[in-house]
C-alpha cells in the first residue's frame, strides 16, 4: 500500500511525504532532534513570532525541492527516480549537523567543527545503519556527483535552503520585506550543460530575491538587538567554558553539554558524534536557568539578563569605535559593577559583522537567454545587481551592559 | 519624552506599546517567563508551525484590546483613561498564571490550583510591588468592577483572548478553517446598559467565529494525534510524581520542578508562588530528556517516545469502547512489554473529551438591533446557531502504546 | 517545441498553460469575450474589489482542475491523456454561455434560454470549427461520458467551479468568511466505483466549504444592497424591452443588444448564437449611460440612479410583507414621483430569494472511509451538516425608490 | 446621529467613512464615475486580476491617509480637525481628473490637458456647489497651504497615492515583488520644520518601497506586452481622431466622446468640463466594439485585434533599433497588409519609455535621525539607494502587427 502523508504548513499550505525513505528520515531521532532547535536562535527576542524550528525549515526546503524537481522534469531535464529521491533526502538532511542555537552558537558549543562537516558526518553515521540508502544523497550533498545542478539545488546562490529560509523567516517574523517569489523563481529554473540556470525572464525575481536577502540581513539577522542578545549568549557559553569544572555542581547540567564544555578536545569520534546528537536548545535553556543562580557574578549576571531580557546597549555603525572612549566606558563599568578588569570584556566588547550579498567570484547565478546565451546575473542589464549587490558591507558593533 | 515601541507581529502587522505601565509589565520577569511557554503545548508534533508562545498570544490579545477600546470610544461608550489602561494591563496579564505546557499539563504540575486563580494571585503579587498600579486591572479581571463590559472584553463569549488565540493558532498551524474576521467583529462591538453586545449586522461574523472555533477544536485542539501526544506528557508527569524521591538523582532536576513533584501540598504561599513563577516549558523539556535515561521502564519508555515522536496509537469516536476488548488489549501489552498489571494504565487508557461551542445559559452573546432590541444570538434567525452550535459533543478516546 | 505560459494569479500564484488545445481555447474570441463580463455582476457596488471577470474565474477553475487531475492520478485513478485534456477544456468552457452581467441578468437579456444550454450550444459551435477536438469535452460536460467523476469535477456538489468561485469571490471582496481550503479539499478527493468521493479525514474541510458557501450567500451574493442594485438593473432591462422600438433613436444602441431587446423570439439559430457571442457587459454599460438621458421617466430615472449609485431602499426578512402597507407605500411613491399606477412596479416591488446549501436528494457528497464504506456527508457524525445545512432558507425582499 | 460606514477592502480589511463631507464626496456622481475607470488600464490583458478601479484606489489612499494623520497626531504634530478633514478630502479627490483608461490614454482623449490640472478644475467645480467646503482641500492639493507636509502626504516621494497604488496593484496583479510595508512606512512618518520625514530606523522600509516601485515598473507598468496593448489603444484613438467626422455614422458613438474626438479645441470651459465628467472606460469600450466593424481597415483591424487580444509583436531593449531594419519590416507589412505607406505607422512603430526611480533633485525623501539631524535618503549609508536608484533608465520599444 502507498503511504502518503500531508503536513499543514502555514507558509506553503501542504507538504506531501510519499516515499518510505523520506518517512524513515523524518522519523529518525536525529531528525526529530531538529524539532528542539530554533531556526532563528534568539531572534524571537525582537520578533516574537520567530520561534520556528530547524525541523520545520528542513521540511519546507524539502517541499520546494519537490516543486523544483517536478519543474525541471517538465522541462525535460534528465533526473532519474534514484536521483530525485536522493536530492530530496539530501535537502531534508542538509541541516542535520546544526547544534543548539545553530548559527548563534556555531563553534561555541562544539569547538572547531563546522556545521556542514557535522551534517556530512551525521549523514554518514545514519547511512551506515541504513544499508547505504543515503549514499547518493551524500555524494550530491558533498558536490561529488557528476550532475552538478543537483548539488546546486541544495547549496548554491539560489538553492532551496535559501528560498525556504527567506520565505519562512519573513513569514514568522512578519518582516514582509523578506518575502521572495519562491514559486516564480522555481518556475524559472532550468539546466544547461549540467549547471543550474535561471531563464532570462526571471531576472526581476532574482533581483527581488537578492534584495530580500539583503533586507533580511540588515533588518533581522544582523538587527542590532538580535545581535546583542546573541552575543550575550555567546559570552555566557564563553564564561561557562572558562570556569567549567566537573566538581562544580552549580555549573554541571548532568547531560552531554558537560562533556562539550569540559573534556571535548575537538576530535569527533563516533561516540562523541552520538553525544552531540543528544544536544539541542533545551540543554542550553536549562543551563542558563541554572547558571542564573551561580556564584560567579559574570555568569549569573549574563544568564539572568538573558532570562529577563535585560539587553546590552548595542550600537552598530560603519566607522570603527574610538578606542579611548571604549577604554573609558570599560573603566566606568568596572567601577560600577565591581568586576575585575580581566573579566570586563564580558560586559563590554566590540566586533565586526558583515554581509556580502552576491559575490560573482565564488558561485554564479547564471542567466539563460532564449537565444541560448549564458550570462552571469552581474552582466545583465540591471543596475541594481550590477553596481551594488556585490559590495561587501562591514559594520562595527559595540555591546555594553546597562548599569 | 514619550516612549513608543512597535513590535512586528506576523498576524496583525504591528503592535504598539506606548505607556510606561505597559512597558513595565512587558519587561517584568514574570511576563518574560511566558516567552518560554508554548501557546499550544505539543500541537507542534502535528502542526510544525505551532510553536508560538504565551507571550506572543498575550501581546496579540493586548493589540486587539487596543482596537476594541478605540472602537467603543468612537461609538461614545464612556471609558476613562484609567479604565483604558487597566483593561489593557489586565488582558496582557490574563495568562500570567499558566504553568509549563499550560492546558496540556493543567493541574498535573501544580496540583489542585487552576490557572485563572494563579493569574489573580500573581497579578496581586506584582501589584504589591507596583504601588497598586494594577488594582483596577485586577478588579476588572475578577469581574468586580461595575462596568461589566470591560470584564467581558477579557473573559466572555467574544473576548479578545479568544479572538486572538483563534487568529493566532490558525495562522501558525496553517489551518485556515480557523481564521476569524477579528477586525470585523471588533468593528461590530457595542455597549448597551453596561453589557458588551454585537451589532445586528455582525451576526454572520459571529456565526463564522463560532464555527471557526468549532473547527479548531476538532481539527486541532482535540485532533487525535495531538490528544495522544499530550496524554503521553500527562502520563510522564503522573509517573514521575508517583516514583519521585529527593534521593533519586536520576529523577531530580535540581530546580523548582522538584518541589512541585515532591513536597508541594497544594497550598500556595508567597514563597511557593514565587517558585512557581520560575517554572516554564524548559523544566519539563529538560526533565524528559533526563528521564528518558531513567531506570524505571515506564518513565523512560514514555519519555523517550515523546522525544523521538513515537506516538501512541489513538482512536477517537462517539461510542464508548468495548471494555472487554480493552481488557484484552491491555493483556497483550502487559505480555509484550513485560510491564506489571498495575502499571499497564500508563501504556493503554481511555477517556472522554468534549467541547461545547456556545452554551446560551452561562454567558450570552447579545445582539443589539438598530431598533434598540437585544436578543441572544441563539434567538436570531440563524439556523446554524439556533439548532446546532449549543450541542455539547463528547467523544471517547483510546490511547495505547505501539509494540 | 513545447509551448508553456504561466499567468500570474493573485489567488493561486501561477496558472500554467501547456497544451496547444488549451491555448487555442484561451485565444478564441468567444473565450476572450469573458474578459468583458464581470464574475459578480454589480456586487462591486458594495464590495469595490469585486470586479474580476468570468475569464479570470474560468482560468482559475482550470487551474484547480489541473491540481485535481494530478491528485487523482497519484492515487491511481485511471485518467487517460485524452480524458485529462478534455476535462480541462470543459472546465475552461463551462461558463462560455454566460451573457452580460451573467446571473444578475440571466434570462433578462436572452429570454428563455439558460446559460448552461448556451454553453453547450457555443461549445458545439466552436467544436464544429475545430475538427471535433472538443467532442469528448462536450460529452463530459453534458454528463454523457461513462466516467461520471469527470463530470462531477465540472458540475457537482464539490466541483472546481464552486471551489474557484468561492475562493476567488472571497479574495476579491475581502470577505474572508468565504475562504475555503481548496488545496486540502483537492487533496482529499478520491474516486470509488466511478464516483467522486471525499476521504473521511476531509470531512471538516467539507463542512467548512459548505459553511463558507452559506456565508457568501448571505453576506455577499444575497446581500440586501447587492440584491437591490441587481434588481435595479433587471428593472432597467425590463423597461427597455417594454418600450423598445427600432424607431426610437434614444433607446437603440446600434449593436447586437438591439436585436435581443426587440426582434428575438427565443429560438437560437447559428446566426443568433453568433450575435449573442458579441454581447458583453459593455453593451449594457453603454446602454445605461445612453438611457439615463431617455425621455421615458422610468427608464432614465432607474438608469441614472444606477450610474450614480442612488440605491433602492431594500429590506430583507423572513416574514412576508404586509400587503396593505406595500399598497400604501406604492400610493405614496405614485404621488411623489408622478408615475402612473401601472408603472409603479418599477419603483416599488417585492419578491422572494432563497438558498439551499446542500440538498442530499439531488447530488450527494460521498464520504469514503478507510474501511471502504461510503456514506453521504449528511450521515456522518457532524451536527453541523446533519441538522442544518440542508434546510432551504427563503427570504422576502422589498425594494423601493427613495424619494 | 453619527453616520459611520465600513467598506470591505481585500487589501486593508476595512475602510471607515465617518464624516458627512466624506460621504458627500463619495456619493458625488463625479466620484462614482471613477468606478468605471480601471486603475491599470489594459494591464489586465497580461495580469487578469488587474481590473480594479480608480474609485477603489482613491478609497484605499484615503484609508492610508486616515492612518497617517492618526500616527502624526500621536507624535504631537499639530493637525487641526479642519486640516484633517481637508487632507482626507483632497486624497479622495486626487484622481478625480482622470479620463478613460487614465495613463494609457492620457492626452489622447482630451488633448493638451494634464490630469492633475483637470483634478483641480473638477475639484473647483464641485467646490462651487458645496459652499466652499473643499477650499482648504484644494489649497493643500495645489501645495498652497503653509503646512507643506499635508501636501506631501498627497503628492510627494512617499505619498499615500503611491503607497496605495503599489500595494493595490501588486495585490490585484499577484506580483508580490511590489508589496510594500505601507503600515511600517506610515509608522515611521514624522514632521520636522513643516516637512514630512521618515525616522531613521525606517530606512530599510523606504529602500524596499523604492525597489518595489522599480520592480513594478519593469515587471508590470512597462511590461512589454502591457506596453504593446496600450500602444494599440493609443493608435486606435489616434486613427479615430484622424478620420473622425460627425457625418460618419460608423465612427460616431452618440455620446460625449464624439465631442472630444471632433470639435474640442483644447480649451476647457465649465460646459466642456461637465462633458468630460461624463466620460469613462465604457465610452472607449463601446467605441472599440463599434469600430471593429468600421470600413477603415486601420481602425477596424486595430479595434478587432484589441477585442480578440491579437497582440502586437513587441520588443523592448536598451539599444535603439536599427533604422534600416525597421524600414525593411515596414515594407514587408505594407506589402502583406496592403496598407498605404502613410498609414503604416499604425502597424509598426518605435518609441522610448523610461523610468526614474528617485531623483534627489526634485523632491527629497528626508530622513530624520534621533539626534535631530536631517539627511536626504541618498546620503544615508545605503549602497542600494546611494548608487543605483536615481539612475534614469530609458528603453526603446518596437511594436509591429503580426501578419
User: Does one domain contain both B363 and B260?
Assistant: no
- Nearest CB to C49; choose among D10, D255, D285: D10
Contact between B179 and C181 using a beta-carbon 8 Å cutoff: no
The crossing angle, in degrees rounded to 10, of helices D224-243 and D297-307 is 150
Contact assessment for residue C126 and residue C30, using Cβ atoms and an 8 Å cutoff: yes
- From residue B170, give the alpha-carbon distance in Å to each of A133, B46, B162, C101, D11: 37, 13, 12, 37, 20
The domain total for chain B is: 2
Distance CA C171, CA A13 (A): 16
Contact between D174 and C35 using a beta-carbon 8 Å cutoff: no
Which residues in chain C have their CB less than 8 angstroms from residue A18's CB? Answer: 74
Q: What pLDDT, in 10s, does the model give residues C340-370?
A: 999 999 999 999 987 655 554 456 788 888 7
Q: C397 has which bridge partners? A: C316, C351
Contact between A207 and D215 using a beta-carbon 8 Å cutoff: yes
DSSP B217: I
The residue in chain D having the minimum alpha-carbon distance to the alpha carbon of residue C46 is D7
- Nearest CB to B393; choose among C181, C211, C383: C383
The residue in chain B having the minimum alpha-carbon distance to the alpha carbon of residue C381 is B318
CA angle C400, C402, D2 (to 5 degrees): 120
In a domain, C231, yes or no: yes
Please provide residue D82's backbone torsions phi and psi, each rounded to the nearest 5 degrees: -65, -45
User: Does one domain contain both B333 and B368?
Assistant: no
pLDDT bin (cut points 50, 70, 90) of residue A380 is: low
Contact between B10 and A172 using a beta-carbon 8 Å cutoff: yes
Query: In 3-state terms, chain C is what percent helix, strand and coil (to 5)?
Result: 55, 10, 35
In a domain, C337, yes or no: yes
CA distance D273 to chain C (A): 17
Mutate to test the interface with A, among C3, C10, C14, C208 (most CBs of A within 10 A): C14
D320: alpha, beta or left, given left = phi > 0 and alpha = psi -120 to 50?
Answer: beta
> Complex ipTM, two decimals?
0.93
Contact assessment for residue B91 and residue B161, using Cβ atoms and an 8 Å cutoff: yes
The residue in chain C having the minimum alpha-carbon distance to the alpha carbon of residue A7 is C184
- Nearest CB to C14; choose among A16, A18, A184: A184
Distance CA C66, CA B284 (A): 47
Calculate the CA C169 to chain-centre distance.
11
Distance CA A260, CA C7 (A): 54
**Roughly how many angstroms between the first and final C-alpha of chain C, as a whole number?**
65
- Nearest CB to D383; choose among A381, A383, A391: A391
User: Does one domain contain both C37 and C185?
Assistant: yes
Enclosing domain of residue C190: 5-223+357-390
Neighbours of chain D (3+ CB pairs under 8 A): A, B, C
In a domain, D317, yes or no: yes
C376 contacts: CB under 8 Å, gap ≥ 6: C360, C364, C365, C366, C367
Distance CA D245, CA D299 (A): 14
User: Does one domain contain both C363 and C331?
Assistant: no
User: Does one domain contain both D303 and D363?
Assistant: no
Distance CA A275, CA A121 (A): 13
Mutate to test the interface with D, among A47, A182, A211, A379 (most CBs of D within 10 A): A211
Contact between C59 and D44 using a beta-carbon 8 Å cutoff: no
Distance CA A371, CA C339 (A): 71
A208 contacts: CB under 8 Å, gap ≥ 6: A180, A181, D177, D211, D215
B261 contacts: CB under 8 Å, gap ≥ 6: B237, B240, B241, B244
Contact between D10 and C174 using a beta-carbon 8 Å cutoff: yes
Distance CA B222, CA B350 (A): 14
Q: What's the pLDDT at C259?
A: 94
Q: What pLDDT, in 10s, does the model give residues C34-89?
A: 999 999 999 999 999 999 999 999 999 999 999 999 999 989 999 999 999 999 99
Neighbours of chain A (3+ CB pairs under 8 A): B, C, D
The residue in chain B having the minimum alpha-carbon distance to the alpha carbon of residue C217 is B204
CA distance B186 to chain C (A): 15
Contact between B18 and D183 using a beta-carbon 8 Å cutoff: no
- Nearest CB to B51; choose among A7, A51, A289: A51
H/E run at residue C392:
strand C392-400
Cell triple for B275? 517558585
DSSP A240: H
Helices (H), B133-280: 135-142, 148-154, 160-173, 182-188, 203-216, 224-243, 256-261, 270-276
Concatenating the DSSP letter of every residue in D119-146 gives HHHHHHHHHHHTTTTTHHHHHHHHT-SS
Contact between B35 and A27 using a beta-carbon 8 Å cutoff: no
Q: What's the pLDDT at D361?
A: 46
Q: What pLDDT, in 10s, does the model give residues D248-293?
A: 999 999 999 999 999 998 889 999 999 999 999 999 999 999 999 9
- Nearest CB to A176; choose among D179, D215, D218: D179
Distance CA C13, CA C6 (A): 10
Please provide residue B246's backbone torsions phi and psi, each rounded to the nearest 5 degrees: -65, -10
CA distance C176 to chain B (A): 7
Which residues in chain C have their CB less than 8 angstroms from residue D59's CB? Answer: 48
Which residues in chain C have their CB less than 8 angstroms from residue D175's CB? Answer: 8
Mean pLDDT of D357-366: 60
Which residues in chain D have their CB less than 8 angstroms from residue B2's CB? Answer: 75-76
> In a structure prediction context, what are the per-residue pLDDT tens digits for chain B, which is 403 residues long?
467 898 999 999 999 999 999 999 999 999 999 999 999 999 999 999 999 999 999 999 999 999 999 999 989 999 999 999 999 999 999 999 999 998 777 767 777 777 788 999 999 999 999 999 999 999 999 999 999 999 999 998 889 999 999 999 999 999 987 888 898 899 999 999 999 999 988 888 888 888 888 888 888 988 999 999 999 999 999 999 999 999 999 999 999 999 999 999 888 999 999 999 999 999 999 999 999 999 999 999 999 999 999 999 999 888 899 999 999 999 999 999 999 999 999 999 999 987 655 554 456 788 888 788 887 776 665 545 544 455 567 889 999 999 8
- Nearest CB to B175; choose among A8, A44, A289: A8
In a domain, C396, yes or no: no
Which residues in chain D have their CB less than 8 angstroms from residue B76's CB? Answer: 2
CA distance D28 to chain C (A): 7
User: Does one domain contain both A174 and A241?
Assistant: no
- Nearest CB to A14; choose among C13, C74, C187: C187
CA distance B265 to chain D (A): 51
Q: Does pLDDT of A232 surpass 90?
A: yes
Nearest to C390 by CA among C220, C155, C214, C160: C214
User: Does one domain contain both C373 and C340?
Assistant: no
User: Does one domain contain both D235 and D199?
Assistant: no
Which residues in chain A have their CB less than 8 angstroms from residue D211's CB? Answer: 208, 211, 384
Where are the extended beta strands (E) located within C47-128?
none
User: Does one domain contain both D53 and D181?
Assistant: yes
Which residues in chain B have their CB less than 8 angstroms from residue A31's CB? Answer: none
For position A295, which CATH number holds?
Answer: 1.20.1250.30
Which residues in chain A have their CB less than 8 angstroms from residue B57's CB? Answer: none
Neighbours of chain C (3+ CB pairs under 8 A): A, B, D
Q: What's the pLDDT at C360?
A: 46
Contact assessment for residue A290 and residue B255, using Cβ atoms and an 8 Å cutoff: yes
In a domain, A59, yes or no: yes
Q: What's the pLDDT at C55?
A: 98
Which residues in chain C have their CB less than 8 angstroms from residue A187's CB? Answer: 6, 14, 16
Where are the extended beta strands (E) located within C282-388?
313-317, 348-356, 366-368, 374-376
Concatenating the DSSP letter of every residue in B126-175 gives HHHHTTTTTHHHHHHHHT-SS-HHHHHHHSSTT-HHHHHHHHHHHHHHT-
Cell triple for A190? 532550468
Distance CA A173, CA A47 (A): 5
pLDDT above 90 coverage of chain D, percent: 71
- Nearest CB to B204; choose among C177, C181, C204: C177
User: Does one domain contain both A217 and A346?
Assistant: no
User: Does one domain contain both B240 and B373?
Assistant: no
In a domain, A401, yes or no: no
For position D132, which CATH number holds?
Answer: 1.10.3210.10
The residue in chain D having the minimum alpha-carbon distance to the alpha carbon of residue B7 is D184
Residue of higher predicted confidence among C391 and D127: D127
pLDDT bin (cut points 50, 70, 90) of residue A390 is: low
Which residues in chain C have their CB less than 8 angstroms from residue B167's CB? Answer: none
Contact between C282 and D282 using a beta-carbon 8 Å cutoff: yes
Distance CA C58, CA D169 (A): 22
In a domain, B178, yes or no: yes
In a domain, D401, yes or no: no
- Nearest CB to B183; choose among D13, D18, D184: D13
- Nearest CB to B181; choose among C177, C208, C211: C177
User: Across chain D, what does the average pLDDT equal?
Assistant: 90
pLDDT above 90 coverage of chain C, percent: 71
CA distance A13 to chain C (A): 8
How many residue pairs from chains A and D have C-beta atoms closer than 8 A? 45
Where are the extended beta strands (E) located within A88-128?
none
Which residues in chain A have their CB less than 8 angstroms from residue D207's CB? Answer: 215
- From residue C13, give the alpha-carbon distance in Å to each of A43, B328, C64: 29, 53, 12
User: Does one domain contain both B108 and B197?
Assistant: yes
Nearest to D173 by CA among C7, B203, A189: C7
Nearest to C45 by CA among C314, C249, C247, C295: C314
Amino acid at each position: 500500500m502507498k503511504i502518503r502523508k500531508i503536513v499543514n504548513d502555514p507558509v506553503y499550505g501542504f507538504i506531501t511525504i510519499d516515499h518510505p525513505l523520506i518517512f524513515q528520515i523524518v522519523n529518525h531521532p536525529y531528525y526529530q532532534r531538529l524539532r528542539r532547535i530554533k531556526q532563528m536562535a534568539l531572534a524571537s527576542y525582537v520578533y516574537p513570532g520567530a520561534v520556528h524550528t530547524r525541523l520545520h525549515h528542513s521540511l519546507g526546503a524539502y517541499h520546494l525541492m519537490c516543486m523544483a524537481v517536478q519543474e525541471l522534469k517538465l522541462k525535460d531535464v534528465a533526473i532519474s527516480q534514484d536521483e530525485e529521491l536522493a536530492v530530496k533526502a539530501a535537502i531534508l538532511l542538509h541541516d542535520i549537523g546544526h547544534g543548539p542555537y545553530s548559527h548563534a552558537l556555531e563553534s561555541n558549543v562544539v569547538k572547531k567543527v563546522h556545521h556542514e562537516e557535522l551534517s556530512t558526518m551525521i549523514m554518514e553515521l545514519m547511512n551506515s545503519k541504513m544499508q547505504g540508502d543515503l549514499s547518493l544523497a551524500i555524494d550530491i550533498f558533498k558536490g561529488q556527483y557528476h550532475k552538478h545542478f543537483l548539488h546546486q539545488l541544495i547549496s548554491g546562490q539560489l538553492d532551496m535552503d535559501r528560498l525556504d529560509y527567506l520565505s519562512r523567516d519573513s513569514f514568522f517574523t512578519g518582516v514582509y520585506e523578506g518575502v521572495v517569489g519562491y514559486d516564480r523563481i522555481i518556475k524559472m529554473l532550468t539546466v544547461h550543460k549540467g549547471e543550474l540556470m535561471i531563464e532570462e525572464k526571471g531576472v526581476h525575481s532574482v533581483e527581488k530575491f537578492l534584495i530580500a536577502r539583503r533586507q533580511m540581513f540588515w533588518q533581522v539577522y544582523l538587527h542590532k538587538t538580535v545581535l546583542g542578545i546573541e552575543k550575550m549568549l555567546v559570552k555566557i557559553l564563553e564564561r561557562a567554558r572558562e570556569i567549567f569544572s566537573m566538581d562544580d555542581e552549580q555549573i554541571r547540567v548532568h547531560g552531554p553539554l558537560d562533556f562539550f564544555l569540559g573534556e571535548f578536545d575537538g576530535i569527533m569520534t563516533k561516540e562523541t558524534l552520538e553525544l552531540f546528537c543528544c544536544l539541542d536548545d533545551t540543554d542550553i535553556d536549562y543551563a542558563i536557568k541554572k547558571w542564573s543562580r551561580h556564584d560567579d557574578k559574570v555568569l549569573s549576571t549574563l544568564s539572568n539578563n538573558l532570562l529577563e531580557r535585560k539587553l546590552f546597549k548595542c550600537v552598530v555603525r560603519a566607522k570603527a569605535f574610538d578606542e579611548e572612549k571604549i577604554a573609558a566606558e570599560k573603566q566606568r563599568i568596572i567601577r560600577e559593577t565591581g568586576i575585575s578588569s580581566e573579566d570586563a570584556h564580558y560586559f563590554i566588547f566590540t566586533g565586526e559583522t558583515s554581509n556580502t550579498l552576491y559575490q560573482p567570484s565564488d558561485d554564479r547565478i547564471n542567466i539563460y537567454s532564449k537565444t541560448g546565451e549564458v550570462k552571469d546575473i552581474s552582466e545583465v542589464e540591471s543596475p541594481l545587481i550590477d553596481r551594488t549587490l556585490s559590495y561587501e558591507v562591514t559594520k562595527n558593533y559595540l555591546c555594553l551592559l546597562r548599569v
